[in-house]
Amino acid sequence: MSLPLISLMIVIPLIGAIIAFISKTRNQARYAAIIASIIPLLITVKMYFQLDPSKMWVVESYDWIPLAGIKYAVGVDGISMPLILLANIVIPLTILFAFGETKQTSKFYGLLLLEQVGVLGVFSSLDFFMFYIFWEVTLIPMYFLISIWGGPRKNYAAIKFFIYTHVASLVMLLGIFSLYFTALAKTGVPSFDIAYLIGMYSGFDPAIKDIIFFALLFGFLVKMPAVPFHTWLPDAHVEAPTAGSVVLAALLLKMGGYGLFRVMLPMLPNTTNTSMIITVVAIIAVVSIVYGAFLALAQKDLKKMVAYSSISHMGYVTLGFVSLVPLSVTGAMYQQFSHGLITCILFMSCGIIQHGAHTRIINDLGGLVKKMPKLTFLMLGGFLASLGLPGMSGFIAEFTILAGAVTTLYVYVLIAVFGGIAVTAAYHLWAIQRAMFGVFNEKLGDVHDMARYEMISMAILLLLVIYFGIKPDLVWDVMHAGANIVLAGANI
């Protein structure tokens, strides 16, 4: 009998979180956390090299509430596996990076492990009921990470984050229940199975189709977030502790993108007015790319600049999704993975600067390379990757998105190229030059470089960004097979 690997991958961080919460010392909590977060990575690597990305692989399914058609059902395929790998890379490195945390450490590491449980559940759920439960699970630990360990306006930011994302989740739940009850009325068979309900969607009446599609789309776009649903993100990032910002940007935003590919992509060709929806979503994508880049350019706070850059970068994911071209769809999935790694470096850099220089205001910095040479090297690598330098994973992602989308969304691609990419390069280069180079600001006083555990975390991330920029096939091939299956199933 084979081991339930996916279930183990989800349960082990949960057990680790419980151990961390009851730990009596800081060392007990952090070592329990690092061990409990690494074991899922080892399980993921084992599964990854056995994966047949052309089909759903390693499915674990058990009846949970049979009368309602609810099952405990988890599985991995070419769409979910790379994001599961990303989550199981990011969480251990975030915990390692936060080894210096001294405030309520047991709760801190326990909450990070609960985030790992939530995102792994979202990325592996095959049942809409489970999908929604895990989706909501991710909100609670992030709320406490912001409200307990955040900055001066932490309570405001935490409440705003929770209200925005929870309301969006409730709208998404409306879409899920509409899908469920409409299918139940047509067949008499209760089921929350994601693939089954998406398959039933094409036979629904046009009016109910629109309600379902836009309710689900709204929930996912708020999570990414896309303009104009983005205003919760900058406050959450600025006030969150560094580890919270890393997990929020690298993993929680990716849940929205995952929803686009897992749920919305196979439904899109069966909507009542597909061409209109494609146009609207393409406009949202391009506005997110360009407007997000200009907002980033206007910021004085380095961390807020990085927060707005995430809105711009996630706009490429939306553009790739709506292109309906295999190359762009795969590129958008790759952007999710790549941005997840790169944004960790950027937010970690902001945290180290805040801790070492006691400010993130770009104009108050300057010449930090003299005091922080190790950070400057790693931060420069992260910034170059974020602006799309060839040889880094970000270049492959954005290039393939635009190269594929140009065949169906020519005008939108031109706007993204000339508006978004140029401004993206400008704010990255301006910020790194102003903060790290030039004349050192003596008013900063005694500035110190990064700790060894911080350097190890960031160095591993940068090496992965370079590796996947040179040799993307390890995750690209898996994603491409997954994208082709979804597009073929949707008759695209």
HSE on the CB side for 279, CA within 13 Å? 4
Structure tokens at 25: 């010392």
Q: How many domains does the chain have?
A: 1
* Contact partners, residue 216, CB within 8 Å, separation at least 6: 172, 175, 176, 259, 263, 264, 267
Q: Is 206 among the domain residues?
A: no
Q: Taking residues 182-199, what's their average pLDDT?
A: 94
pLDDT in tens, 35-62: 999 999 999 999 888 777 666 677 888 9
pLDDT digits (tens, 9 = 90+) for 457-481: 999 999 999 999 999 999 999 999 9
Q: How far apart are CA 464 and CA 199, in angstroms?
A: 37
Lowest mean pLDDT, pick from 277-291, 386-400, 477-491: 477-491
Instruction: Name the least confident of 6-10, 138-142, 342-346, 441-445.
Output: 441-445
Report if residue 419 sits inside a domain.
yes
Q: How far apart are CA 192 and CA 128, in angstroms?
A: 5
Q: Evaluate if residue 448 carries a pLDDT over 90.
A: no
* Integer angstrom CA distances of residue 269 from 52, 264, 276, 489: 26, 9, 11, 10
Number of other CB atoms surrounding residue 390 within 10 Å: 11
Q: Could you tell me if residue 322 is inside a domain?
A: yes
Whether the predicted pLDDT of 442 surpasses 80: yes
> 312 is in which domain, residue-wise?
273-492
Query: What pLDDT sits at residue 138?
Result: 96
Cα 463 vs. chain centroid, distance in angstroms? 19
The answer on pLDDT for 301 being more than 90 is: yes
User: Which ranges in 260-392 belong to alpha helices (H)?
Assistant: 265-267, 274-297, 302-323, 326-357, 373-386
Residue 25 lies in a domain: no
> Is residue 24 within 8 Å of 448, Cβ to Cβ?
no
Task: Give CA–CA dist 434/289, Å, rounded.
Answer: 24
Q: Which residue has the higher pLDDT, 319 or 24?
A: 319
- What's the CA gap between 265 and 270, in Å, rounded? 10
Kindly state whether residue 402 falls inside one of the protein's structural domains.
Answer: yes
Q: Does residue 120 fall inside a structural domain?
A: no
> Number of helices (H) and strands (E), helices first, in the chain?
22, 2
Residue 233 domain-assigned (yes or no): no
pTM (predicted TM-score): 0.95
pLDDT above 80 (res 418): no
Q: From CA 135, how far away is CA 118, in angstroms rounded?
A: 7
pLDDT of 56 reads 67
The pLDDT-based confidence of 492 (bands split at 50, 70, 90) is low
Region at 69 (left for phi over 0; alpha for psi -120 to 50; beta for the rest): left
How far apart are alpha carbons 397 and 387 in whole angstroms?
12
Flag whether 359 is in a domain: yes
pLDDT per position as a tens digit, 114-123: 999 999 999 9
> Is the pLDDT confidence value at 303 over 80?
yes
